[in-house]
Amino acid sequence: MLLRKKALLVCSQHARKGKNTSPIRNLEKHCGDFENLITEKYGYKSESTTVLLDSKRNMNNDRLAHLRPTRDNIIHEISKLAKYARSGDQLLILLSGHGCRVPSQSTNANQDERVYEALVPCDGKVTKDGSYAPKTLVSYDEICELLTRALVKGARVIVILDTCHSGAAMAFPDFGYNRLHSPQKTDPQMKDAAGEKEHVVLGEDVQPLLPPYSEIRNDPIPQNVISISSFLISYVDPVDLVEVARGVSVTQALVEALGKDPQPTYRSLLEAMSRLLDEQAQELAKFYYIRKKYRERKGDLAFLMSSEVASLKRSYYLSIVESAENKSEDEWEEFVLNCEPTWKPQIGSQNVLNLDDKFLL
């Protein structure tokens, strides 16, 4: 029997949280690049690939409402993907967009109070206090539950998370993370793990894994689920900062890494993504450094005529100007410049991976 490959790409670039919230920069392009990658190099067929994207075309045409990344559409497509999967199928899910943390709504007295991570769909609602209404989001625990209940044994699932707060989002039981750490930039609390170039984390993660928000179930657990995401290394947790239009992109890093080496080992994929995310973090710091100077000196003709500004591409310069006019990004600018955050890739799995095995997409 031939291997059946099916893909669901969810790309939600807008977060409905205040008039100053900007769409995520280049998300639509990265989504298109990823779709091209999996069709051209990995054999995914267009008829077996569903893309939910809040593009102008989809949002302005009611006949394309089923292609918008709304909460109902996302839940429907993930459920359908799992329900109709057969043993031996390979399912690929990309979740890209704004992510957030929401206080648990649990009424279980035995469950500790905590926050859970969620994807913000294009129709996510905001409460009077400015936070997202939990019932309008798509929590990662909910996705885990959908896959756990419906997925047939023997199907293989790859979940790619490209959102904020997705470091420990796939909360399957016994789910752990394979990570590469950068010894040049470590939090003292992460010293033991970061002292080694390679660190396989199962059961003693650097940032503790949270149990599923839903109650413990006796349903069969899918044993062949792999996740790819990134985690933030910083001395400050930016959990309270507003959603921003600029950050690092796991999707972009994957496209570049797999474009150069379509059949890497898990180890070489982590190493390549680590380098690419470092480059993105450096570019992010450069962007906000120039943004800060522009905000402080935009009335200074000498600065505007300087070689530093004149050497910038027009599109890049206009992007800085646009960002500087958006006050909601000022906090993020301060965080990036003062805390010098870096992001590192991680591959999650329920079983210990041999990092020298081939990564099969």
Q: 234 with 293, same domain? A: no
Residue 176 forms part of a structural domain: yes
Residue span of the structural domain in which 324 resides = 288-334
Residue 356 forms part of a structural domain: no
* CATH number, domain with residue 191: 3.40.50.12660
Amino acid type, 324: A
Q: 23 with 104, same domain? A: yes
Instruction: Please say whether the beta carbons of 289 and 338 come within 8 A.
Output: no
Q: 252 with 183, same domain? A: yes
Give the residue among 30, 12, 19 at the shortest CA–CA distance from 248. Answer: 30
Output the tens digit of pLDDT for each of the chain's 361 residues.
567 999 999 999 876 555 445 678 789 999 999 999 999 999 999 999 999 999 999 999 999 999 999 999 999 999 999 888 888 899 999 999 988 887 765 444 444 456 778 899 999 888 887 778 889 999 888 888 888 777 788 888 999 999 887 766 666 656 666 766 444 333 333 333 333 333 333 322 333 233 332 333 334 444 578 889 888 776 555 555 545 557 789 999 999 999 999 999 988 998 899 899 999 999 999 999 999 999 999 888 888 888 888 899 998 999 899 889 888 788 889 888 988 888 888 888 776 677 888 998 9
Q: How many domains does the chain have?
A: 2
Q: 3-class SS at 133? A: coil
Residues of the chain above pLDDT 70, percent: 74
Q: 226 with 295, same domain? A: no
Q: 232 with 314, same domain? A: no
Q: 151 with 77, same domain? A: yes
Give the residue among 311, 314, 308, 313 at the shortest CA–CA distance from 292. Answer: 308
CA distance 12 to 147: 21
* Both structure tokens of 279: 């480059």
Per DSSP (E only), the strands in the chain are: 5-12, 49-53, 90-97, 99-103, 115-119, 138-139, 156-162, 176-180, 198-201, 225-233, 342-349
Instruction: Please say whether the beta carbons of 267 and 359 come within 8 A.
Output: no
